[in-house]
Amino acid sequence: MSTRPVKPLTKPKQTVDLSKADNVKCDDCGNYLFITSYVIKRVSAILSPSGQEGLVPVQVYSCGNCGQVPKIFLEGSGLEE
């Protein structure tokens, strides 16, 4: 009978003082409230690991005021200009 290593139940707490953290603001209008949006990437059969064409949603955040997506949220989405 094997014995499993006992994991500690308590995770080390990360104390981050969010009052000192910067808000991400919209590049366009300066608004700092964002809503989740999805960019849908169409993956061609050639690029797809399954060999079949598919749609892959990529979550981004868009400005709740003007709809602009800040550049930092577009990194890795292939939408950078």
Give the residues lining the site for Zn ion (CB under 5 A): 26, 28-29, 31, 63, 65-66, 68
Complex with Zn ion: residue 17 or 22, whichever CB lies closer: 22
List of E strands, the chain: 34-43, 54-63
Beta bridge partners, 58, equal 39
Complex with Zn ion: residue 29 or 56, whichever CB lies closer: 29
Complex with Zn ion: residue 43 or 74, whichever CB lies closer: 74
The region that residue 26 occupies, defined by phi over 0 for left and psi between -120 and 50 for alpha, beta otherwise, is beta
Provide, rounded to whole angstroms, the least separation between the CB of residue 55 and Zn ion: 27
Provide, rounded to whole angstroms, the least separation between the CB of residue 35 and Zn ion: 11
Provide, rounded to whole angstroms, the least separation between the CB of residue 74 and Zn ion: 14
CA–CA separation, 28 and 69 (whole Å): 9
Q: How many CB atoms are closer than 10 A to CB 26? A: 20
